[in-house]
């Protein structure tokens, strides 16, 4: 099973136009192994192992610092556990 951490809100919410969002990704996230899927407007980092977490858990990751898991969903067709990360308030 793979584990995917999505940070779409960080990239697409406050960075202006799509080209500006892509520029933010290139400048701040690509170097840390994040992937930009322009077709799905999705930014994520994926691991080839199972990482079991729950909503409300906090993680620290290079490039984005401390985040909180606000949503999780298992993609049964692709065997991927998806977690959505947001800034802590």
Tell which wins on pLDDT, 14 or 38.
38
To the nearest whole number, what is the mean pLDDT of the chain? 94
Phi, psi of 86 (to 5 degrees): -140, 165
Given pLDDT bands bounded at 50, 70 and 90, which one contains residue 5?
Answer: very high
How many domains does the chain divide into? Answer: 1
Q: Rounded to whole angstroms, what are the CA distances from 78 to 37, 48, 54, 56, 87?
A: 16, 12, 20, 24, 27
Query: Residue 19 corresponds to which tokens in the numbers above?
Result: 């080209």
For 32-69, the pLDDT digits (tens) are 999 999 999 999 999 999 999 999 999 999 999 999 99
Domain carrying residue 72: 2-86
In whole angstroms, give the CA distance from residue 47 to residue 22.
22
Q: Which residue, among 8, 9, 4, 15, has the nearest Cα to 50 in the 3D structure? A: 4
């Amino acid at each position: 099973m793979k584990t995917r951490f999505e940070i779409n809100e960080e990239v697409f919410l406050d960075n202006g136009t799509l080209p500006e969002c892509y520029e933010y990704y290139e400048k701040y996230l690509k170097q840390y192994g994040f992937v930009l899927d322009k077709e799905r407007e999705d930014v994520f980092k994926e691991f080839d192992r199972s990482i079991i977490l729950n909503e409300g858990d906090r993680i620290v990751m290079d490039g984005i610092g401390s985040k909180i898991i606000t949503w999780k969903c298992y993609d049964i067709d692709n065997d991927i556990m998806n977690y959505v990360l947001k800034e802590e308030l």
